[in-house]
C-alpha cells in the first residue's frame, strides 16, 4: 500500500524582548527557580496583565516578512485549564482574532526545488512555567521563570508532504526569525519549539487521515527521526486494519520512538473567552509603516545580492547566513574594505573561525572590530602585509590592542624591505651553498624553495616572500 | 468624635484640636465595643497606633496632607501589606499579600492609614455579607437584619461610626446596596477611573473600588484621591482633571433627571417608591426637571449581569488551586485531587455555585447561547442607557426594592437574592457611575436613593447628592448615640 504523508507544523518562537509578554520580569534563560517571577507571573490575587509593546513590533515584523495580513484589531483570549505550571489557571493567548494571518514562506528543498509553505496564522501567547520532576523524590518543583514569556505561535497549513520538506521549512523559519532579530533561535534553551501534526492517507486520496501530534521537538534531527518513526507506526497500524488514535505524543531520542504524552481523556474544552483585563490590540497604519522602515534585509534578499558577487559559492552563502551576526560582520567588513569579498570570506571562514572555535565564541562576541579587520584585509590586498603578518595582527587585535597601525609599529611590520640588506643576505646564502647552486642551475628547480627557506631563516621570517622569491630567482641565475 | 465630615476632621487634626492617636484610639474602642456586629476580619491595633503616632509628628510640624491622621477601614478583597487579605474565604484565610491595592496606596499618599479589614461576602459574591467564611455582619440599625453586601462590613462600620470612612468594591451594587441598607453614602465610580490593581478580581469588566462614607462631600474628597490612570491596570483611564469638591456646589438649574417608569414595578416596596418621588421634589426645588423615561430592556439586566459575572468569576478564580498560595487540602492522593479538594474545601457554597454557573456558560455548546448572547445584550443595554442619558443628565431611582432583610432569609433562595440587584447592576454593565444616599426611613430602617449618570459625570452625581444633603438631614441620622467621647 502506498501512502501520502501530511504534515502541519506549529512552532513556538520565544520573542527576544527584555521583559515578558504581560509583566516586567526579565526573560533571560537559566536563572535560579522563581528568581524571574513577578507577582503578575505568579498569578497572585489582585494582579493584572499589561501588554509589552515590543512584542507587537516583533509580531508585525514577522507578519511583514511572510507577506501576511496584519490584523488591525486582534483580541487576547483566555485559554482555561488546570495545571501547576499555569499559575492563573488560564493562558492568555489569541484564538479567534490573531495578530497575523495568511502568509507564506518560500522554502528551498534539498533537491533544489522551491516550495511555498502557507502560514495560516501567527499569534501571541504567554508561556507556562516548568514542572521539574527530578529534583526531589517526593515532590515536583514548579519553576515559574518561564511563565509569562512572550511566544509567537506560527502555524502552517497541513501542506508539507515529507520530513525533508518539514525540516527545510523549519530551517528557513529558524533563519528568518533570527535575521528578523525577533528570536535568538536557541533550541537547547527552548527558544524555538516545534510541534508536528502528522498523518498518512492512501496515495492519491483527498481525505486526510487521523493525525497525531508530537510535541516539543527541539532539534531538526529529532524531528526527522520522530517523523520517520511516526510514518512506520501509522502505516503499520493501518495496514493491520487498525485505527490511529488521535493523541499527543512525545519523542524519546534515546529509544528513537514516540510515546503517548497524556492519558486518554476527553478532549479538553478550553472555554476560550476574551480577556477582560486587556483592551483589544489596535494596530495603526502608521505603526505598520514605521515597522516596515525598520525591517532588516532578509535572508532571501541577501542570497540574491551575494549570488551576484563573483566567486562566491553556495557554501560561502550558507556560511554567511549561518547566523545574523556572521552576516552583519561580513557586511561591515566588506563595507570598510577595498579587497574582494572572496578574500574576506576566506579569512572569516578560515583563520577567524578557527580563533572563534578555539575560544568557543561566536561572531557576535568576536573581539576584533570589523573596521580593524577590514584594514588588515586592505593591507593584505595591497601586499603591505604578508599572510603570516596578517595572522599576527589579528591575534594582537583579539588580545585588545586597539589599532592595526599600532601593532604594525610594534611588530616592525612597516619596515620597508631594505633591498640592499636583502641582496646582501641572498648573496651570503648563495655563497654558503655552492653545490645546491650548481644543481639549481643544472635544472633542479625545486631547490628554489630550499634557498627561499634559508633566506627566510636569515631574515627571521620577516622577509617579504614575494620579494625574496623574485630577487633570489634573478641572483641565482646571474 | 467621628460624626464630623472628613474636611472638618482634617481641619481639627491640622489645628491640633484633636490628635490622630486620640482619634485612632476612639475608633479602636468603638470597634471593640461593637464586636457583635462582626464588621471586621482583621484589626491591627499595634500598627494603627504606630501610624497615628507618625501622623501626629507630621501634624505637629504642620507637614500633614489632607487625610493625615485619619484611620480607614478597607474591604478585605483589597490587598494591603499590613494585614491578611482573606476575601472572607477559607481559601485565603492566611494569605498575606505582597502587593498593595492602588486605591489604598493613593489614599495612603494623602496621609490616611488602614487599621482594619472589613467583612464581605466571600470573594464579593453576595448581597448580604452572609456568605462570609467569618460569619455574617449585622446591620447596626437592627442586628437581626443584614447590612447588605458584598461590602457589608464597610457599610456597617461607617453607619455605626466605628471609622470615619471605608473602602468597598462594587460589581453589581456591592457598595450602593449596603450603603442603602445602612443609611450611608457610597459611590461606584465610572469604570476605569479607579485602578483595579490589588482589587482581588471577581468580574473584571464589572468590578470597581470606591469609597463609603457619611456624606457626598466625604465621597468627593475620597474619590478625588483615589482616581487616576494606573499603568499597572490596562483598563484604567486617563480622566480629565476634575475637582470634585469644587463641583459640589455647581448650579443644577436646567439639568434633567430621568425617572424610569419601569422602576416602579410590583416588587418595589411602596414606601420606597414614595420616598423616591419625594426626593424628586427636592431636586425640582434645586431647579432640575424631572422627566419620565423608559428603559425597556430592564427585565434583562439581572440575567445578563449574572451570566457575565459568573463567567468572569469562574475564570478569575481558576488561579486558586492550592498550589502556590492559599488553602491546600490535606486529603489528596493525585494532582487532580490536590486541585479539586483544595477548591471544594476552600470555597463556600455561593462561590462554588457561581463558578459552576460560569463554567457552564463558557462551555463548548453553551457559549453561544449564554455568554456570547449576554455580551450582545450587554451592548444593547448600554446603548439604551446612553440613549436615555442623551435625553436626561441623570437617572434616578431606588437603590433596592426593599429595606434590609432578615439574616438567614435569603440563604435558601439564591435566585431571590439575585433579584435584589435589579436596580444596581445596570451601572456595572454599562460602566456608568452611580451612587446611593439615604432618603428616608421605613419602620426605622434606611431607604437608599440611587443616582446614575453618563461616563465620567461622577462630579454631577456628587453635586446632586451634596445639594440634596444640604436640603435634608437623612445622612446625619445614625443608629448610634453620638458624643461618646
Question: How far apart are the C-alpha atoms of B194 and B235, rounded to whole Å?
Answer: 10
Give residue A263's pLDDT: 55
Give residue B483's pLDDT: 43
Q: How confident is the model at residue A271 (pLDDT cuts 50, 70, 90)?
A: very high
Give residue A426's pLDDT: 85
- The mean per-residue pLDDT over the stretch B172-176 comes to 98
Q: Which three cell numbers stand for residue B322?
A: 492550592
Question: How far apart are the C-alpha atoms of B340 and B362, rounded to whole Å?
Answer: 19
Q: What is the pLDDT of residues A216-270, one digit of tens each?
A: 888 999 999 999 999 999 999 999 999 999 899 999 999 999 999 865 455 689 9
Question: How far apart are the C-alpha atoms of B376 and B390, rounded to whole Å?
Answer: 21
- The mean per-residue pLDDT over the stretch A204-226 comes to 91
Q: How many CB atoms are located within 10 Å of the residue B55 CB?
A: 26
Give residue B270's pLDDT: 94
- Facing A279 at nearest CB: one of B234, B359, B367: B234
Q: Which of B148, B180, B171, B129 is nearest to B397 (CA)?
A: B180
Q: Which three cell numbers stand for residue A363?
A: 561572531
Q: What is the pLDDT of residues B296-316, one digit of tens each?
A: 999 999 999 999 999 999 999
Q: Helices A370-381 and A404-411: crossing angle, nearest 10°? A: 50
Q: Is B273 or A113 the better-scoring residue by pLDDT?
A: B273
Q: What is the pLDDT of residues B50-99, one digit of tens each?
A: 999 999 999 999 999 999 999 999 999 999 999 999 999 999 999 999 99
Give residue A415's pLDDT: 63
Q: Which of A122, A101, A172, A144 is nearest to A15 (CA)?
A: A122
Could A48 and B364 be called an inter-chain contact, meaning their C-beta atoms sit closer than 8 Å?
no
Give residue A462's pLDDT: 67
SS3 A78: strand
Q: What is the pLDDT of residues A343-381, one digit of tens each?
A: 899 999 999 999 999 999 989 899 998 899 998 898 888
Rounded to the nearest 10°, the torsion over CA B321, B326, B329, B333 is 50
B386: pLDDT strictly greater than 60: yes
Q: Which of A300-304, B318-322, B475-479 has the lowest mean pLDDT?
A: A300-304
**Contacts (Cβ under 8 Å, ≥6 apart) of B47:** B82, B83, B115
Could B196 and A48 be called an inter-chain contact, meaning their C-beta atoms sit closer than 8 Å?
yes
- The mean per-residue pLDDT over the stretch B34-42 comes to 98
B324: pLDDT strictly greater than 90: yes
Do residues A245 and A208 touch, judged by C-beta distance below 8 A? Answer: no
**Contacts (Cβ under 8 Å, ≥6 apart) of B106:** B225, B226, B228
C-alpha distance from B211 to closest chain A C-alpha (Å): 18
Q: Is A422 or B305 the better-scoring residue by pLDDT?
A: B305
Give residue B379's pLDDT: 98
Give residue A266's pLDDT: 53
Q: How confident is the model at residue B170 (pLDDT cuts 50, 70, 90)?
A: very high
Q: What is the pLDDT of residues A86-124, one digit of tens each?
A: 999 999 999 998 999 999 999 998 778 899 999 999 999
Phi-psi region of B173 (alpha: psi -120 to 50; beta: other; left: phi over 0): left
DSSP per-residue codes, A87-110: TTSEEEE--SS-SEEEEEEEEE-T
Best probe of the B interface among A22, A271, A277, by most B CBs < 10 A, is A271
Q: How many CB atoms are located within 10 Å of the residue A179 CB?
A: 23
Q: Which of A104-113, A262-271, B172-181, B329-338 has the lowest mean pLDDT?
A: A262-271
Q: Which three cell numbers stand for residue A101?
A: 494571518
**Predicted ipTM > 0.90:** yes
Residue with the three cell numbers 510640624: B61
Do residues B66 and B225 touch, judged by C-beta distance below 8 A? Answer: yes
Q: How confident is the model at residue B484 (pLDDT cuts 50, 70, 90)?
A: very low
Residue A293 sits at φ, ψ, to 5 deg, of -75, -20
C-alpha distance from A152 to closest chain B C-alpha (Å): 21
Q: Is A471 or B352 the better-scoring residue by pLDDT?
A: B352
Using a CB-CB distance cutoff of 8 angstroms, which residues of chain B are in contact with residue A43? 319, 324
Q: Which three cell numbers stand for residue A446?
A: 625545486
Using a CB-CB distance cutoff of 8 angstroms, which residues of chain B are in contact with residue A84? 321, 323, 335
Q: What is the pLDDT of residues A22-69, one digit of tens each?
A: 999 998 888 999 999 999 999 999 999 999 999 999 999 999 999 999
Q: Which of B63, B24, B37 is nearest to B139 (CA)?
A: B37
B39: pLDDT strictly greater than 90: yes
DSSP for residue B371:
I
Q: What is the pLDDT of residues B124-154, one digit of tens each?
A: 999 999 999 999 999 999 999 999 999 999 9
Q: Is B184 or B409 the better-scoring residue by pLDDT?
A: B184
Question: How far apart are the C-alpha atoms of A431 and A149, rounded to whole Å?
Answer: 76
Q: What is the pTM of this model?
A: 0.89
DSSP for residue B396:
E
Residue with the three cell numbers 439564591: B414
- Facing B364 at nearest CB: one of A49, A142, A269: A269
Q: Which three cell numbers stand for residue A10?
A: 506549529
Could B339 and A82 be called an inter-chain contact, meaning their C-beta atoms sit closer than 8 Å?
yes
Could B99 and A42 be called an inter-chain contact, meaning their C-beta atoms sit closer than 8 Å?
no
Indicate the helix (H) or strand (E) that contains A454. helix A447-458
Q: Which three cell numbers stand for residue B155?
A: 457599610
- Facing A45 at nearest CB: one of B79, B204, B321: B79
Q: Where are the alpha helices (DSSP H) in A36-161?
A: 53-65
C-alpha distance from A375 to closest chain B C-alpha (Å): 50
Question: How far apart are the C-alpha atoms of A459 and A475, rounded to whole Å?
Answer: 17
Sheet order of strands, A212-217 included = A69-70, A100-108, A114-126, A150-156, A3-14, A192-202, A212-217, A248-252, A257-260
> Could you give the residue numbers annotated as active site of B?
75, 150, 174
- The mean per-residue pLDDT over the stretch A434-457 comes to 86
Q: Pairing state of beta strands B40-43 and B113-118?
A: antiparallel
Give residue A416's pLDDT: 61
Q: Which three cell numbers stand for residue B145?
A: 437584619
Q: How confident is the model at residue B212 (pLDDT cuts 50, 70, 90)?
A: very high
Contact residues of A toward B, CB < 8 A: 39, 42-51, 78, 80, 82, 84, 87-90, 142, 269, 271, 273, 276-279
Percent of chain A past pLDDT 90, that is, above it, reads 59
Opening angle at CA B472, ends B467 and B474, nearest 5: 115
Closest residue on chain B to A52 (Cα): B234
Amino acid at each position: 500500500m502506498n501512502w501520502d504523508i501530511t504534515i502541519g507544523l506549529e512552532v513556538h518562537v520565544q520573542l527576544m524582548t527584555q521583559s515578558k509578554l504581560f509583566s516586567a520580569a526579565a526573560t533571560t534563560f537559566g536563572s535560579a527557580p522563581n528568581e524571574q517571577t513577578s507577582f503578575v507571573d505568579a498569578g497572585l490575587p489582585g494582579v493584572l496583565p499589561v501588554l509589552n509593546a515590543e512584542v507587537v513590533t516583533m509580531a508585525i515584523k514577522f507578519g511583514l516578512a511572510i507577506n501576511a495580513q496584519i490584523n488591525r484589531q486582534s483580541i487576547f483570549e483566555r485559554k482555561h485549564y488546570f495545571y501547576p505550571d499555569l499559575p492563573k489557571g488560564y493562558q492568555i493567548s489569541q484564538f479567534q482574532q490573531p495578530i497575523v494571518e495568511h502568509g507564506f514562506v518560500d522554502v528551498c528543498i534539498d533537491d533544489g526545488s522551491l516550495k511555498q509553505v502557507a502560514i495560516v496564522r501567527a499569534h501571541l501567547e504567554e508561556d507556562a512555567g516548568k514542572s521539574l520532576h527530578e529534583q526531589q523524590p517526593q515532590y515536583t518543583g514548579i519553576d515559574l521563570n518561564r511563565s509569562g514569556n512572550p511566544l509567537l505561535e506560527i502555524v502552517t497549513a497541513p501542506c508539507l508532504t515529507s520530513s525533508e520538506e518539514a525540516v527545510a521549512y523549519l530551517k528557513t523559519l529558524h533563519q528568518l526569525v533570527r535575521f528578523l532579530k525577533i528570536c535568538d533561535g536557541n533550541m537547547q534553551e527552548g527558544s524555538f519549539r516545534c510541534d508536528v501534526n502528522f498523518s498518512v492517507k492512501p496515495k492519491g486520496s483527498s481525505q486526510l487521515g487521523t493525525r497525531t501530534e508530537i510535541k516539543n521537538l527541539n532539534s531538526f534531527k529529532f524531528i526527522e527521526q520522530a517523523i520517520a518513526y511516526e510514518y512506520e507506526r501509522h502505516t503499520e497500524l493501518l495496514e493491520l486494519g487498525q485505527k490511529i488514535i488521535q493523541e499527543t505524543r512525545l519523542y524519546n531520542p534515546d529509544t528513537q520512538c514516540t510515546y503517548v504524552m497524556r492519558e486518554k481523556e476527553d478532549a479538553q474544552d478550553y472555554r476560550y473567552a476574551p480577556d477582560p483585563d486587556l483592551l483589544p490590540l489596535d494596530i495603526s497604519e502608521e505603526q505598520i509603516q514605521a515597522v516596515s522602515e525598520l525591517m532588516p534585509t532578509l535572508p532571501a534578499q541577501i542570497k540574491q545580492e551575494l549570488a551576484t558577487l563573483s566567486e562566491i559559492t553556495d557554501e560561502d552563502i550558507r556560511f554567511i547566513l549561518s547566523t545574523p551576526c556572521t552576516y552583519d560582520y561580513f557586511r561591515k567588513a566588506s563595507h570598510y574594505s577595498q579587497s574582494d569579498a572572496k578574500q574576506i570570506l576566506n579569512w572569516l571562514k578560515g583563520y577567524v573561525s578557527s580563533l572563534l572555535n578555539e575560544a568557543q565564541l561566536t561572531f557576535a562576541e568576536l573581539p576584533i572590530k570589523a573596521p580593524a579587520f577590514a584594514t588588515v584585509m586592505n593591507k593584505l590586498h595591497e601586499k603591505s602585509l604578508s599572510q603570516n603578518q596578517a595572522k599576527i595582527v589579528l591575534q594582537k587585535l583579539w588580545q585588545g590592542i586597539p589599532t592595526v597601525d599600532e601593532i604594525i609599529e610594534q611588530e616592525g611590520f612597516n619596515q620597508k624591505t631594505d633591498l640592499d640588506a636583502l641582496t646582501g643576505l641572498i648573496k651570503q646564502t648563495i655563497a654558503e651553498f655552492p653545490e645546491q647552486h650548481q644543481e639549481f642551475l643544472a635544472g633542479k628547480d625545486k631547490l628554489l624553495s630550499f634557498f627561499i627557506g634559508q633566506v627566510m631563516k636569515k631574515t627571521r621570517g620577516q622577509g617579504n616572500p614575494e620579494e625574496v622569491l623574485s630577487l633570489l630567482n634573478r641572483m641565482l641565475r646571474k | 468624635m467621628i460624626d464630623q465630615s472628613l474636611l472638618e476632621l482634617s481641619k481639627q487634626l491640622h489645628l491640633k484640636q484633636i490628635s490622630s492617636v486620640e482619634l485612632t484610639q476612639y475608633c479602636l474602642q468603638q470597634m471593640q465595643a461593637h464586636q457583635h456586629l462582626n464588621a471586621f476580619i482583621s484589626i491591627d491595633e499595634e500598627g494603627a497606633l504606630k501610624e497615628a503616632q507618625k501622623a501626629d509628628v507630621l501634624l505637629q510640624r504642620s507637614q500633614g496632607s489632607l487625610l493625615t491622621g485619619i484611620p480607614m477601614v478597607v474591604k478585605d478583597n483589597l490587598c494591603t501589606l499590613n494585614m491578611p487579605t482573606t476575601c472572607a474565604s477559607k481559601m485565603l484565610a492566611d494569605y498575606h499579600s505582597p502587593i498593595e491595592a492602588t486605591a489604598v496606596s493613593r489614599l495612603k499618599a494623602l496621609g490616611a492609614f488602614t487599621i482594619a479589614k472589613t467583612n464581605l461576602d466571600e470573594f464579593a459574591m453576595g448581597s448580604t455579607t452572609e456568605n462570609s467564611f467569618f460569619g455574617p455582619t449585622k446591620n447596626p440599625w437592627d442586628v437581626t437584619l443584614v447590612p447588605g453586601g458584598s461590602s457589608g462590613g464597610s457599610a456597617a462600620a461607617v453607619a455605626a461610626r466605628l471609622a470615619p470612612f471605608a473602602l468597598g468594591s462594587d460589581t453589581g451594587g456591592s457598595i450602593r446596596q449596603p450603603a442603602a441598607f445602612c443609611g450611608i453614602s457610597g459611590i461606584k465610580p465610572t469604570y476605569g477611573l479607579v485602578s483595579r490593581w490589588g482589587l482581588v478580581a471577581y468580574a473584571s469588566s464589572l468590578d470597581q473600588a470606591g469609597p463609603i462614607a457619611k456624606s457626598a462631600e466625604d465621597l468627593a474628597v475620597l474619590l478625588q484621591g483615589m482616581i487616576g490612570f494606573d499603568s499597572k491596570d490596562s483598563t484604567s483611564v486617563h480622566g480629565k482633571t476634575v475637582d470634585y469638591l469644587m463641583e459640589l456646589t455647581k448650579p443644577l438649574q436646567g439639568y434633567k433627571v430621568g425617572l424610569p417608569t419601569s422602576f416602579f414595578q410590583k416588587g418595589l416596596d411602596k414606601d420606597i417608591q414614595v420616598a423616591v418621588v419625594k426626593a424628586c421634589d427636592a431636586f425640582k426645588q434645586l431647579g432640575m426637571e424631572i422627566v419620565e423615561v423608559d428603559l425597556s430592556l430592564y427585565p434583562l439586566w439581572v440575567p445578563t449581569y449574572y451570566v457575565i459575572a459568573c463567567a468572569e468569576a469562574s475564570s478569575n478564580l481558576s488561579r486558586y488551586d492550592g498550589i502556590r498560595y492559599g488553602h491546600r487540602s490535606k486529603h489528596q492522593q493525585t494532582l487532580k485531587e490536590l486541585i479539586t479538594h483544595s477548591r471544594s474545601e476552600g470555597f463556600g457554597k455561593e462561590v462554588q455555585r457561581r463558578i459552576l454557573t460560569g463554567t457552564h456558560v463558557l462551555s463548548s455548546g453553551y457559549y453561544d447561547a449564554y455568554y456570547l448572547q449576554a455580551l450582545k445584550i450587554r451592548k444593547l443595554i448600554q446603548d439604551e442607557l446612553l440613549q436615555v442619558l442623551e435625553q436626561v443628565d441623570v437617572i434616578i431611582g431606588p437603590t433596592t426594592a426593599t429595606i434590609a432583610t432578615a439574616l438567614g432569609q435569603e440563604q435558601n433562595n439564591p435566585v431571590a437574592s439575585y433579584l435584589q440587584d435589579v436596580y444596581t447592576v445596570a451601572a456595572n454593565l454599562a460602566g456608568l457611575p452611580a451612587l446611593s444616599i439615604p432618603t428616608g426611613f421605613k419602620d426605622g430602617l434606611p431607604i437608599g436613593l440611587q443616582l446614575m449618570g453618563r461616563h465620567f459625570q461622577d462630579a454631577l452625581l456628587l453635586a446632586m447628592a451634596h445639594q440634596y444633603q444640604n436640603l435634608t438631614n437623612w445622612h446625619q441620622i445614625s443608629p448610634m448615640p453620638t458624643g461618646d467621647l
